[in-house]
Structure 1
Amino acid sequence: MSKIKKLGNTPNAMVIISLTIALFLIGLCGLLTLNARKLAELVKQNVEVQVYLDNDLTTSKLDSIFKLIAKKDFVLKKDNSPQINFISKEVAAKQFIEESGEDYRKLLGNNNPLFNLYSVKIKEEFFNEVKLKEIKADLEKLSGVHEVAYVENFVDEVNKNISKIYLILSVFVVLLLVIIVILVNNTIKLSLYSQRFLIRSMQLVGATNQFIRKPFVVKGALQGLISGLVACTLLIILQQLAVQKIEGLGVLQETSKLIILTLGILIIGTLIGILSTFQSVERYLKLSLDELY
């Protein structure tokens, strides 16, 4: 630190503020990406294939169909338990009346036109239209299965929208990184401009380039680290406020990935501080005396 102080003061605040704003925006994009990924994962885990069963099947036949479905590779399992839910036609009728507000019994009397069914959750890797069609064809071959249904085109639409979100955020992050490098480079160059004659004086007394460069680079690393810490703090505060204000947002939060994101921001900030300072100092080290003026 003593070496840095001897080199004089540079406008630290301007560098730190510029870098903090840029890192905060990158962190915000990262947080949005993590939330979008988690939301997509939850949507995929809750995609269900409805296996409608023939009427008047015996209990043993229902159990047999359940076991056959449970053995399929595409069935989602939690704690080694297949995520298959049996819904009787009586329960299905009750749900239909509650959701639609229409009572079919006024027209059909007590005749229930619905079927017993198994609601089957599918693994994420089978979350595309082609594989779902294959699953439908496979299940419809089972004896006692009347029909298999799922929400068609929904899967492809979700996948397309997720891909668009990732693409937009990726482009935005790349643009931000370019802007950061240019902005921080210019800011650090200006901050070192007043030190150019001091750098020349140190060269004249025999100081090596490495000796001259070191305190500036250390200072750049500290500026990047401080900017990263401030940006991470602001990001965590914003995230906590959002979780408190927006109902259900807490489900999308993953502490482990948030920690990785903050570490990434700290590393990016430190690297930008080091590389930008190194480049700027190197420029002044190579200038001739006439060029310094």
Structure 2
Amino acid sequence: MASSFDSYQKRKLVSSYISVVISIALVLFLLGCLGLLVINSKKVADHFKEQVVMTIYINDTAKEVEVNQLKKSLAMADYSKEAVYVSKEDAAELMKAENGEDFMNFLGFNPLKNSIDVFLKADFVTSEKLTEISDELTQKDFVEEVRYDNDLVELMNDNVKKISLWVLIISALFTLIAVLLINSSIRLAVYSKRFIIKTMQMVGATKTFIRRPFIWQSVKLGIVGAIVALIGMAVVLYYSDQTFPELQLLQNTVLIIALFIGIFILGVIITWISTFIATQRFLNLKTDQLYY
């Protein structure tokens, strides 16, 4: 009978440990994924900004030398990521492919212009800087017009600011929730042993002596939970990088390593503090208060 009871107690203890580890791992995993989002949020925003194209339309009277010089200067400019020359013939072929019909059969001529598509660096995709660049380029005699979607640029920048603010708010809120959830899991684990704590105290054991095994056990659970969370984060990061290779998510190696170390340390610190507070609470309770 005693053996059966001991076996039941061991299973209950193991089940309690597993639930604590799972709770810690899930919370740290979600917190880590949010951290990865924060680290790569600027990179994601920059990726979308760099899809904005500034198109420079060139007069038919422009000399080939002038066009080549302009293309080279644009390719070397601080604000330019890439400059692609599109002839009027290539533009006509692209339009024909998009519309499914040859509009030149109706018009009898090609009304399109030679152009240069400039893909800008993310830091220069603002209304003010685009206006400066546009004004500078339109001063050239052979440049007929400079076009870009200013409304899209303003909308994109406004949304980036709003999203960045909300990501910071959610990060702070989620960190607080993570601490509270892990603390609750640890307190429940310690609560189940409150009578053992009081018994040890009644036979003369010091508070430090009583706390030590509980803290060490919780720290070990925190380490296991943190390792499980880090494995999950690594899997998510790997598959995200494989799915979106253009974002180069693994490029910020130092920040990613710092995040992984931070999540590991956070798991240890939260479990240590939570266990200390929980055991201290039961150590300060009177015997009759343990039943409430």
Q: Same fold (TM over 0.5)?
A: yes
List per-residue Cα deviations over 1:182-241 (Å, max 9, x = no partner): 333233222212433443455556655444333322222221221122123234445556
Report if aligned partners of 2:17, 2:221 keep a CA contact under 8 Å in 1.
yes
Relative to structure 1, the CA distance from residue 239 to residue 188 in structure 2 (aligned partners, 3 Å threshold; closer, same or farther) is: same
Deviates more, 1:142-151 or 1:248-257: 248-257
Question: Which residue does 2:272 correspond to in 1?
Answer: 274
Contact 2:47 2:122 in 1 (8 A): no
| Aligned position for 1:53 | 58
Show the counterpart of 1:226: 224
C-alpha separation between the residues in 2 aligned to 1:142 and 1:106? Answer: 33
The 8 Å contact of residues 228 and 269 in structure 1, kept in 2 or not, is answered as yes
Q: Distance in 2 between matches of 1:193 and 1:265?
A: 26
Give the aligned residue type for 2:244.
L
Question: In the alignment, is residue 29 of structure 1 matched against residue 29 of structure 2?
Answer: no
Quickly say closer, same or farther: Cα 1:160–1:221, change in 2 above 3 A.
farther
For 2:123, the aligned partner's letter is E
Residue 74 of structure 1 and its aligned partner are, at CA, apart by 2.0
Q: What CA distance in whole angstroms lies between the structure 2 residues aligned with 1:37 and 1:219?
A: 40
Identity of aligned residues (%): 35
More helix by proportion, 1 or 2?
Answer: 2
> Unaligned stretches of 5+ in structure 1?
1-8, 77-82
Verify the 8 A CA contact 2:80 2:119 in the aligned structure 1.
Answer: yes
The alignment covers a number of residue pairs equal to 275
The answer for the alignment partner of 1:251 in structure 2 is 246
Report the alpha carbon displacement of residue 72 of structure 1 after superposing the two structures with TM: 4.0
The whole-number CA distance in structure 2 between the counterparts of 1:122 and 1:73 is: 9
AA aligned opposite 1:12: Y
1:160-175 matches, within 5 Å, as: 160-175=158-173
Report how far residue 148 of structure 1 moved.
0.7
Taking the aligned partners of 1:126 and 1:99, their CA distance within structure 2 comes to: 30
Structure 2 gaps of 5+ residues are 1-12
What do residues 85-143 of structure 1 show as CA deviations (whole Å, max 9, x unaligned)?
2222221222222223342312321x322222222221211122222122212221223
CA RMSD of aligned residues (A): 3.0
Q: Does residue 114 of the first structure (1) align with residue 106 of the second (2)?
A: no
Secondary structure in 1 matching 2:149: coil
Q: TM-score normalised to the size of structure 2?
A: 0.78
